[in-house]
Amino acid sequence: MAKKDIREIIGKEFFVFDGGFGSQLQLRGVPAGTNSAEINVDRADLVCAIHTDYIKAGSTCIVTNTFGADKFHITDEKMRVEQITAACNNARKSADEADKDVYVFYDMAPTGKLLKPLGDLDFEDAVDAFKDQVLLARDLVDGFIIETMTDLYEVKAAMLAVKENTDKPLFVSVTFQENGNMLTGASPEQAVALIEGLGADVVAVNCALGPNELEPIIMRMLNTARIPMLVQPNAGLPKFRNGETYYDVGPDEFSDYIKKFVEAGISGFGGCCGTTPDHIRACCEKTKDLKVNFKPAEEVARVCGTTTLVEFRNRVIRCGERLNPTGKKKMKLALQEGRLYDIVDEGLLQVEAGANVLDVNVGVPGIDETAVMVELITNLQEVIDLPLQIDSSNPDTLEHACRIYNGIPLINSVNGKKEVMDAVFPIVKKYGGTVIGLCIDEDGIPPTAPQRFEIAQRIINEAKKYGISHKRIVIDSLVLTASAQQKEVIETAKCVGLVTDNLGCPTALGLSNVSFGLPNRPLINRTFLVMALYAGLKLPILNPLDKELMGAIDAFEVLNYSDVNAEDYISRHMNDVVAKPGAAPAPGAPSESTGSADAELDGKSALFKSIVKGQKHQAVDAVKAMDIEPLAIVSDHLVPALDKVGRDYDKGIIFLPQLMVSAETAKLVFDEIKDKLTSNAGPSKGCIVIATVQNDVHDIGKNIVKVVLQSYGFDVVDLGKDVPPEVVCDAVREHNPIAVGLSALMTTTVVSMEATIKMMKEQGLTTPTFCGGAVVTDDVVKKIGGDYYAADAMESVRICEKLLEENT
């Protein structure tokens, strides 16, 4: 076993990881594509030789050869146990033979499956798949590294599996696309927030990009990380030659970058795809005279949703209060009747109105609070990417909701009661949240500001015992009702000031309470809001649909010099129409706007909007209510809505999760109308084979083509999506169709279309082909040797009818 505890040296001495493994195996004669986990058993000598080469090159941390050794990839349990154990033993043997301290890390990589709602893997099943590996490896290694993760939700599952089953050091490494985001849309800052929040010892980045492309991402991570950072780039971007992948950043250039990153503050380095022992050797050589320059970033409270990060800095954070049944009959009923989609709609309205965080509370009698909270959060995070504030007085509900939450939650709340702090702080610690601390204790809400301040101090001191800093506690001084406790309203604002000035933590207030029982409640709310903002309030919990209230925050931020150059104020209010004092508002005049969320949605049908927003239930209702021809629904609503989604994805306005939810919504809409389309089909006119080509999973367009052809009396053999050329050829031989329809939606899969057409020709299959899909044009079809181009489903009918005529 290694001598020094890794945690003692993290952030003080460099930890040098190893480099690429697969290419090293190939160098030693193992063919590419061989199951690399089996090698641990069959060719332990080769695996040990690679570890030893890296150690000799300078690595002080080596990782087990277990990339993807989970129960989805290696389904036979006996083999999995054997291979994982052998991998750990191989690495340990090489480490023990070294003449220096070498640490063995168990390597955990993505399961290769997408978690719900993007895919079909349950969050807890993902946790189990990682736990299975942790249990096998925990006694054989010095630490764990979770790496090449592209989805933060899966990172969370893997981290929980490690933290719940071992206290060994944990390094967590994520992978970014060239656009600077993870595949599921998370930013570098968000990744750091989640990984730190869930208690990793080191945050890391690896794979996909070379050091040059990673540089800006690394700098952004360093700027925000409070724990040390490890960097393992590829040896450049992958390039292709003669059907093989290669990387062309050599050891010298690679190590120049690593030196630069070390100077900027990383604490460890290594390499990923394409790197070799020579890369590691060069890095060690160039950094040998440097010292670790790790400086933790300033601490700040952070919460994140699926793709958004909200930090408590100098700006006001608007928390939407409307997902809370207190005083709301309609919401109470929706919860009791299980109409969660209505509640999700209310959430979307608040997002459009400019909320930054949404409070979620499901406390009504007669329901299972925990189950409903979990279900609602699951539904909300499918379509809303803002951070959620999980609001419950039941610790069990908080725990379950925080667990399935995809991000770092804002937890509402803890208070000065000892038993509440005992129950809630462990949850905050475990799930990395920021928590609201209410100034109330066993004796109720004290009347004066100094007494409430004293409770705030008590909460903060108790949190420290759990390792939760005061920066992660948002103190709520509690708003009382002006009509009943008028004298005490000002005490709340004073307490906000005391906390802001003396405790250094942010503050929250639920505004609307203040005006109960008084006329013109918005006026009271607005005035109180401004008083509290001036005292330092950072998180007003309010109704974002109240435009004047939201406008007051915009104005305050100008006057307070936090909206520098009034940029946000101007963009949100430049079109406001202000009535002259005494004049009635102009009829039809636009009211003060807080900025339209998406002008492209204006004037569009309910169906269009609900596909764009991914509101499944509403989309189905909308299509049912439409009395127009089914094909027009496709061409005038469904396709344009998906086009908009595609454009937004392209611009980086939305990310893969939203793209997928919109696609699923479009599918449901189509399922709703397809029966109407096929009902007029007469006797069969003949057979058509259709397929989406290999490596392409887009099948909505192809499915439309299928149903429309069926409605015109053709028998359609649908081979599905991601269909290899040979499967198309086999189907042509089997069914002898009139024509073959091929669909490709990506530039990168037009080659598969070409390969399919080529293979048909090579095999002497002369059946005509007709091709379509967003990236296909007449020219493309000519170039790749196809026979016909079809711009849409109707065109495919014309082509097939023409071919039918020619055949008869």
Cα 447 to Cα 440, 478, 481, 494: the distances in Å are 10, 10, 12, 12
Nearest to ligand B12 of 316, 793 (CB atom): 793
Of the ranges 126-134, 212-220, 425-433, 645-653, which one interacts with ligand B12 (CB under 6 A)?
645-653
What is the Cα–Cα distance from 560 to 553, expressed in whole angstroms? 10
- CB distance 518 to 324 below 8 Å: no
Residue the block writes with tokens 């390597």: 107
List beta partners, residue 739: 688
What is the DSSP code (8-state) at residue 193? Answer: H
- CB distance 440 to 477 below 8 Å: no
Nearest to ligand B12 of 237, 775 (CB atom): 775
Of the ranges 200-208, 217-225, 447-455, 694-702, which one interacts with ligand B12 (CB under 6 A)?
694-702
Nearest-approach distance from CB 255 to ligand B12, in angstroms = 31
Residue 697, interface with ligand B12 (CB under 6 A)? yes
Nearest to ligand B12 of 375, 722 (CB atom): 722
Residue 773, interface with ligand B12 (CB under 6 A)? yes
Residue 774, interface with ligand B12 (CB under 6 A)? yes
Backbone φ and ψ for 693, nearest 5 degrees, come out as -70, 170
At a CB cut-off of 8 Å and minimum separation 6, what does 296 contact?
225, 226, 227
Residue 728, interface with ligand B12 (CB under 6 A)? no
Interface residue with ligand B12, options 669, 745, 781, 784 (CB under 6 A): 745
- CB distance 612 to 640 below 8 Å: no
Residue 690, interface with ligand B12 (CB under 6 A)? yes
Nearest-approach distance from CB 188 to ligand B12, in angstroms = 18
- CB distance 468 to 450 below 8 Å: no
Interface residue with ligand B12, options 412, 415, 743, 767 (CB under 6 A): 743
Residue 616, interface with ligand B12 (CB under 6 A)? no
Site string for ligand B12, 540-579 (x = CB under 6 A): ----------------------------------------
Residue 169, both tokens: 């050091």
Site size toward ligand B12, by CB under 6 A: 39
Interface residue with ligand B12, options 48, 137, 200, 639 (CB under 6 A): 639
Nearest to ligand B12 of 681, 746 (CB atom): 746
Map 604-636 to HEC letters.
CCHHHHHHHHCCHHHHHHHHHCCCCCHHHHHHH
Residue 378, interface with ligand B12 (CB under 6 A)? no
130 by Cβ neighbours in 10 Å (0-12 / 13-18 / 19+) ranks as: buried
Residue 742, interface with ligand B12 (CB under 6 A)? yes
Interface residue with ligand B12, options 39, 61, 162, 660 (CB under 6 A): 660
Interface residue with ligand B12, options 343, 496, 656, 731 (CB under 6 A): 656
Closest CA to 545 of 349, 347, 317, 384: 349
Interface residue with ligand B12, options 446, 737, 772, 786 (CB under 6 A): 772
Nearest-approach distance from CB 785 to ligand B12, in angstroms = 15
List alpha helices for 265-339, DSSP H: 277-287, 329-336
Of the ranges 103-111, 235-243, 474-482, 649-657, which one interacts with ligand B12 (CB under 6 A)?
649-657
Residue 374, both tokens: 């979990």
Residue 719, interface with ligand B12 (CB under 6 A)? no
Nearest-approach distance from CB 150 to ligand B12, in angstroms = 9
Instruction: Give the β-pairing of 239-241 and 244-246.
Output: antiparallel
What is the Cα–Cα distance from 209 to 231, expressed in whole angstroms? 11
Nearest to ligand B12 of 381, 507 (CB atom): 381
Residue 483, interface with ligand B12 (CB under 6 A)? no
Nearest-approach distance from CB 666 to ligand B12, in angstroms = 6
Interface residue with ligand B12, options 229, 357, 508, 645 (CB under 6 A): 645
Q: Which of residues 11-50 bind ligand B12 (CB under 6 A)?
A: none
Interface residue with ligand B12, options 154, 399, 554, 699 (CB under 6 A): 699
The distance of Cα 800 from the centroid of its chain, to the nearest Å, equals 43
Nearest-approach distance from CB 712 to ligand B12, in angstroms = 13
Residue 244, interface with ligand B12 (CB under 6 A)? no
Nearest to ligand B12 of 181, 477 (CB atom): 181
Backbone φ and ψ for 321, nearest 5 degrees, come out as -95, 0
Backbone φ and ψ for 758, nearest 5 degrees, come out as -65, -45
Interface residue with ligand B12, options 210, 741, 768, 786 (CB under 6 A): 741
Residue 167, interface with ligand B12 (CB under 6 A)? no
SS3 36: helix
- CB distance 421 to 459 below 8 Å: yes
List beta partners, residue 300: none
Nearest to ligand B12 of 316, 760 (CB atom): 760
- CB distance 439 to 426 below 8 Å: no
Residue 698, interface with ligand B12 (CB under 6 A)? yes
At a CB cut-off of 8 Å and minimum separation 6, what does 579 contact?
585, 586, 589
Of the ranges 119-127, 324-332, 549-557, 641-649, which one interacts with ligand B12 (CB under 6 A)?
641-649
Residue 696, interface with ligand B12 (CB under 6 A)? yes
Residue 654, interface with ligand B12 (CB under 6 A)? no
Interface residue with ligand B12, options 180, 490, 649, 676 (CB under 6 A): 649
Cα 131 to Cα 92, 221, 472, 565: the distances in Å are 21, 28, 29, 51
Residue 701, interface with ligand B12 (CB under 6 A)? yes
Closest CA to 403 of 199, 167, 157: 157
Nearest-approach distance from CB 760 to ligand B12, in angstroms = 14
Residue 704, interface with ligand B12 (CB under 6 A)? yes
Hey, what amino acid is at 541? I
Nearest-approach distance from CB 650 to ligand B12, in angstroms = 4
Nearest-approach distance from CB 773 to ligand B12, in angstroms = 4
Residue the block writes with tokens 């020709």: 761
759 by Cβ neighbours in 10 Å (0-12 / 13-18 / 19+) ranks as: middle
Residue 747, interface with ligand B12 (CB under 6 A)? yes
Residue 760, interface with ligand B12 (CB under 6 A)? no
Q: Where are the beta strands (DSSP E) in 226-290?
A: 229-232, 239-241, 244-246, 268-269
List beta partners, residue 125: none
Nearest to ligand B12 of 273, 663 (CB atom): 663
Nearest-approach distance from CB 120 to ligand B12, in angstroms = 13
Residue 792, interface with ligand B12 (CB under 6 A)? yes
Residue 775, interface with ligand B12 (CB under 6 A)? yes
Nearest to ligand B12 of 159, 656 (CB atom): 656
What is the Cα–Cα distance from 439 to 455, expressed in whole angstroms? 6
Nearest to ligand B12 of 577, 697 (CB atom): 697
Residue the block writes with tokens 């479009």: 666
What is the Cα–Cα distance from 397 to 409, expressed in whole angstroms? 13
DSSP string, 746-806: SGGGHHHHHHHHHHHHHTT----EEEESTT--HHHHHHTT-SEE-SSHHHHHHHHHHHHHH
Nearest to ligand B12 of 181, 255 (CB atom): 181
The count of other CB atoms within 10 Å of the CB of residue 378 is 17
Residue 777, interface with ligand B12 (CB under 6 A)? no
What is the Cα–Cα distance from 44 to 200, expressed in whole angstroms? 31
Residue 663, interface with ligand B12 (CB under 6 A)? yes
Nearest-approach distance from CB 713 to ligand B12, in angstroms = 16
Residue 748, interface with ligand B12 (CB under 6 A)? yes
Task: List interacting residues with ligand B12 (CB under 6 A).
Answer: 639, 642-643, 645-646, 649-650, 656, 659-660, 663, 690, 695-702, 704-705, 741-743, 745-748, 770-775, 790, 792-793, 796
